[in-house]
Amino acid sequence: MKSSIIKLENIKVSFNNEVILENLNLNIKEGEFVTLLGPSGCGKTTTLRIIAGFLNPDEGNIFFKDKKINNVPAHKREVNTIFQKYALFPHLNVYENVAFGMRIQKKPESEIKAKVTEILKMVNLVSYIDRDVNSLSGGQQQRIAIARALANNPKVLLLDEPLGALDLKLRKDMQSELKSIHQKTGITFVLVTHDQEEALSMSDTVVVMDKGSIQQIGSPEDIYNEPKNAFVADFIGESNVISGIMIDDFKVSFCGKEFSCLDKGFEKMSIVDVVIRPEDIKVVTPEQGDISGVITSVVFKGVHNEIIIDVNGFKWMIQTTEMQKENDKIGLLIYPDAIHIMKPSPYSSKIGDYSAFSDEFYNEQHKN
C-alpha cells in the first residue's frame, strides 16, 4: 500500500457568494497518476490551484505527506505546475526557462547545466537549448513547460489542461509522452482535463467532478463500467439513462418490461436509474427484440454507425457495425451484463434521452 502524498480534507471555497468547492475530500497516493475530470466550472482547476498554493480554501485542510500545508506559500511547496498556456517566460530563452527554478535555489552553474541538458534530452528538445521560446511551436513550448517543472524535482506535478491548446494528432503524441515521463520519473501526476478520453486512457485514478463536488473516484474501468450516478454515466462516454424500478435483486423493470440484471442490494420496488451503453445493445428484428422502435437517424462514424431509435417516445442511441436504414423498425436485445443499475441522484431527471442530440450540440457542450 503506497502512502498518501496529498490529502484534501473538507475543502470549501466560495467566490462572490458563489460556492466553487463544497466539502471536498481527496486522497492522492504517491506515484499515482490522478486525473480531475469534469465540465468547465466544476471546480477542478480550483482544486489544482489549492494544491499548488495559489489559492487558500475558506475551510478545510491540505496535507502534504501528513503535514498540514495550509499556510505554506506556493514557492515553498514541493509541487510544480504546468500551466494551461504553458506560461513560459518570454524574455528568457529555452535554457534559462528550464534553469529558472535552479537559479532561484542558487545551484552551481555546472549542476544547472547538466540537469538542463538531461531534462531537455528527456523531452527531445536538446538541440533547441539556445532558442527564443517565442519561436517554438505549441508542442515544443509544451515540452519546455514540462522540462521547466521537472527541473525542480517536484514530488507532485500538477498539469492544468496541458494539452488543451494542441491539435488532435499532437495531443495523442503528448499523451503517450506524458505517460512515459510519469513511468520514468515515478512522480505523482495530477492532471486536470475536460476530455474524458484523455482521462480514461492516461490515469490510474479518475476523479469525476461537477458543480464543486466529487461525483465519483475510481479506476478508469470502474468509472466507465460502474458509473455511480446519471451525471457520470452521461459525461463518460455515451449512455442511455432510463428510469426503472428495481423489482428484486437481479430483476429490474423499464420500458414496460422486466429484465434480469447483475445488480443487487437495492431496496425492493424502488426507483432507480438504468444505464445501458450504446455499444452493448444488439440490433435484431422487431420480433426477436426485448423492445422495438423506429430508426430516426443513422450517422456513419467510421468504425460503427450511430443510430437513434424512437422507442415509445424515448430516443435511444445504439452503436452497431450493421447497416441500418432510417424509418426501419428494429428490435433491441439487451443482455443482463449490459444493464447497470444506479441509485437515483439529483441528475436523474436532468439527463434526458437523445432527442435533442446532434454532434454539434454535443461537441459544444463538452468543449466548454
Interacting residue ranges for other proteins, rule: CB under 8 A: 16, 52-54, 73-76, 79-81, 83-85, 87-91, 100-101, 104-105, 148-149, 152
- DSSP E strand stretches across 174-313: 188-193, 205-210, 213-218, 240-248, 251-254, 257-260, 270-276, 282-284, 291-300, 305-311
Minimum CB separation of residue 288 from other proteins in Å reads 54
Closest C-alpha among 362, 242, 232, 364 to residue 306 = 362
Minimum CB separation of residue 304 from other proteins in Å reads 40
DSSP three-state, residue 277: coil
Cα dihedral sign for 67, 72, 77, 81?
positive
Name the pairing type of β-strands 33-37 and 59-64.
unpaired
Minimum CB separation of residue 45 from other proteins in Å reads 11
Nearer to other proteins, 57 or 101 (CB): 101
Minimum CB separation of residue 163 from other proteins in Å reads 16
Nearer to other proteins, 148 or 315 (CB): 148
**Are the C-beta atoms of residues 324 and 362 closer than 8 Å to each other?**
no
Nearer to other proteins, 85 or 228 (CB): 85
Minimum CB separation of residue 339 from other proteins in Å reads 46
**Are the C-beta atoms of residues 309 and 320 closer than 8 Å to each other?**
no
Partners of 64 in the β-ladder: 6, 67
Minimum CB separation of residue 190 from other proteins in Å reads 13
Nearer to other proteins, 76 or 325 (CB): 76
Minimum CB separation of residue 233 from other proteins in Å reads 34
Nearer to other proteins, 165 or 170 (CB): 165
Nearer to other proteins, 101 or 289 (CB): 101
| Exposure letters 170-200 (e unless 16+ CB within 10 A, then b) | ebeebbebbeebbeeeebbbbbbbbbbebbb
Which burial class, exposed, middle or buried, applies to 1 when counting CB atoms under 10 A from its CB (0-12, 13-18, 19+)?
exposed
Nearer to other proteins, 152 or 216 (CB): 152
